[in-house]
């Protein structure tokens, strides 16, 4: 088993090194350019001024409101709130000079038109979803435009109106609060509602998910073919170098080797197609998962990469837990799941190593120009070797646990066999005892029957004695009657005799 594990370690080191160089650290830099926050802007990220697309970023030029500015000034002059000398500050209600003298001695406007709810705030709250026309309409809403002094406008800047125009900053909230409420109501009408936000996000997820599907699927397919190509080349080179006494010319052998490598790669096209769809699905899911995570927290560009690259290991682990192959033992499932999770861990560590190594190489002037190329290669090799060693450790640990478990199970089996023998013997004793109990019960039943019969015999004997006594009494009475009858007969006979004798004498 140890020799087998050692050979598996060597094979795994070679395969992992190739896979890491061709996969996450090889094809990824050319196909993926991960950014902070992922491919789809979330409201959470927008609130921190983090956007996935340049068109979503805040650009004040997109919020042109020159026409509204002219109309507002015209209305202020018409209403008497502004003239060439003074104007009414909407936030304080006080009169202030309309113009000011600049540091260069020139005349400039002191009255400035301010967005009560700042444009940058409205952009973060949902303006980033709007197109140019709707952004201009938002910026031009009259209810969000109020005149104030240059000093107040600079002090207020892009701070939220509820904070900048509060009593803590010296404003009368009975005056500023209605202005803020009107501005907020007007702004909310321009910002996208829940349904529009859902549609916007669905479109972005669909577009970026399709793009990730294609790129991830292509990378998985190309990775498989490149891995087969490189493995085949190494194998053929090894064969050619080891067989130096072959009778065929070297060029013919190399040509045959190239054909064999091409055949190996060609035979992998069907598998590559399967990898394309599998990788595409994982790319789409990782894009969606990144969006969901960034709806709560903002992920760095490196974390986005880890999510995408780790989806393969995570998918394999979940698939093994939920839909294991038919006939796979629990031991094999445990190995596969543990290895997938371990691969996800080493991949994440490898990504962090790459960033640290790149920073270290950049600090070395001669290596700085090629640091971006060297760091992924070195990190890929280290990650592959670390993964192979970790897999070997996992296999060894599981083998050790299974050996210990087997000894324990054997002891348990022996104990159970002893328990079984004891139980069998106990059952035999119980069976004998049951038979004895049955015999004793039968004897009791017989004794009870004899007892009943003796009782019946006693009753019969008592009745017979009574009958005998009655018979004897009747016999005594009969004898007495016979004696009486005999005496009577004798008396009658004596009387007859006397009568006969008298009669005879008389004759």
Range with lowest mean pLDDT among 120-129, 141-150, 200-209, 445-454: 445-454
Q: Are 144 and 177 in contact (CB under 8 A)?
A: no
DSSP conformation class of 108: E
Mean pLDDT over 258-275 rounds to: 90
Taking the C-alpha atoms of residue 158 and residue 155, their distance in angstroms, rounded to an integer, is 9
The answer, yes or no, to whether residue 307 has pLDDT greater than 70, is yes
Taking the C-alpha atoms of residue 318 and residue 341, their distance in angstroms, rounded to an integer, is 10
Structural domain contains residue 24: no
Structural domain contains residue 181: yes
Does the reported pTM lie above 0.75?
A: no
Structural domain contains residue 68: yes
Q: Are 148 and 90 in contact (CB under 8 A)?
A: yes
Structural domain contains residue 31: no
Q: Are 377 and 350 in contact (CB under 8 A)?
A: no
Taking the C-alpha atoms of residue 128 and residue 58, their distance in angstroms, rounded to an integer, is 7
The answer, yes or no, to whether residue 489 has pLDDT greater than 70, is yes
DSSP per-residue string spanning 317-367: HHHHHHSPPTT--HHHHHHHHHHHHHHHHHHHHHHHHHHHHHHHHHTSTTT
Structural domain contains residue 76: yes
> In the structure, what pLDDT confidence band is assigned to residue 25 with cuts at 50, 70 and 90?
very low
Q: List the beta strands (DSSP E) in 185-327.
A: none
Structural domain contains residue 164: yes
State the average pLDDT for the chain: 81
For the chain, the distance separating the N- and C-terminal CA atoms, rounded to the nearest angstrom, is 159
Structural domain contains residue 424: no
The answer, yes or no, to whether residue 382 has pLDDT greater than 70, is no
pLDDT at 253: 79
Domain region containing 161: 54-192
% of the chain at pLDDT higher than 70: 81
The answer, yes or no, to whether residue 12 has pLDDT greater than 90, is no
pLDDT at 127: 96
Taking the C-alpha atoms of residue 188 and residue 438, their distance in angstroms, rounded to an integer, is 94
The answer, yes or no, to whether residue 99 has pLDDT greater than 90, is yes
Kindly give, in sequence order, each residue whose CB lies less than 8 Å from that of residue 71, ignoring residues fewer than 6 positions away.
142
Q: Are 145 and 187 in contact (CB under 8 A)?
A: no
The tally of domains found in the chain comes to 1
Structural domain contains residue 120: yes
């Amino acid at each position: 088993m140890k020799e087998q594990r050692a050979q598996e370690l060597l094979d795994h080191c070679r395969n992992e090194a190739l896979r890491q160089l061709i996969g996450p650290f090889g094809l990824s830099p050319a196909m993926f350019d991960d950014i902070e926050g992922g491919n789809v802007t979330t409201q959470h990220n927008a609130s921190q001024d983090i956007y996935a697309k340049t068109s979503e970023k805040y650009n004040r030029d997109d919020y042109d409101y020159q026409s509204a500015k002219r109309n507002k000034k015209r209305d202020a002059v018409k209403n008497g709130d502004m003239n060439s000398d003074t104007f009414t500050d909407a936030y304080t209600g006080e009169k202030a000079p309309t113009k000011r003298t600049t540091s260069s001695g020139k005349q400039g406007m002191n009255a400035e038109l301010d967005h009560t709810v700042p444009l940058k705030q409205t952009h973060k709250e949902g303006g980033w979803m709007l197109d140019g026309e709707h952004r201009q309409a938002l910026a031009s809403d009259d209810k969000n435009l109020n005149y104030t002094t240059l000093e107040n406008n600079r002090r207020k800047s892009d701070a939220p109106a509820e904070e900048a125009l509060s009593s803590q900053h010296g404003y009368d909230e009975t005056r500023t609060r209605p202005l803020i409420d009107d501005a907020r109501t007007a702004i909310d009408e321009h910002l996208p509602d829940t349904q529009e936000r859902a549609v916007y996000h669905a479109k972005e997820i669909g577009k970026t998910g399709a793009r990730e599907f294609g790129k991830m699927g292509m990378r998985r397919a190309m990775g498989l073919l490149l891995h087969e190509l490189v493995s085949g080349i190494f194998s053929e080179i090894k064969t050619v170098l080891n067989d130096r006494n072959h009778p065929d010319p070297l060029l013919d052998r190399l040509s045959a080797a190239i054909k064999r490598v091409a055949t190996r790669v060609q035979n992998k096209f069907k598998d590559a197609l399967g990898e394309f769809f599998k990788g595409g699905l994982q790319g789409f899911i990782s894009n969606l998962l990144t969006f969901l995570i960034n709806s709560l927290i903002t992920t760095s560009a490196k974390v986005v990469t880890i999510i995408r690259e780790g989806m393969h290991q995570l998918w394999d682990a979940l698939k093994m837990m939920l839909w294991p192959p038919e006939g796979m033992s629990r031991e094999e499932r445990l190995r596969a799941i543990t290895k997938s999770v371990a691969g996800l861990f080493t991949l994440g560590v490898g990504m962090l190593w790459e960033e640290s190594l790149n920073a270290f190489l950049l600090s070395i002037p001669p290596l700085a120009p090629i640091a971006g190329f060297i760091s992924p290669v070195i990190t890929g090799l280290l990650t592959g070797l670390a993964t192979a060693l970790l897999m070997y450790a996992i296999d060894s640990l599981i083998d050790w646990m299974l050996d210990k478990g087997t000894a324990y199970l054997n002891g348990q089996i022996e104990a159970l066999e002893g328990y079984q023998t004891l139980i069998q013997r106990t059952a035999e004793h119980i069976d004998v005892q049951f038979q004895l109990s049955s015999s004793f019960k039968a004897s009791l039943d017989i004794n009870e029957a004899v007892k009943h019969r003796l009782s019946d015999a006693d009753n019969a004997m008592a009745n017979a004695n009574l009958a005998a006594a009655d018979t004897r009494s009747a016999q005594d009475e009969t004898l007495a009657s016979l004696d009486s009858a005999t005496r009577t007969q004798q008396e009658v006979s004596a009387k007859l005799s006397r009568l006969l004798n008298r009669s005879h004498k008389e004759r």
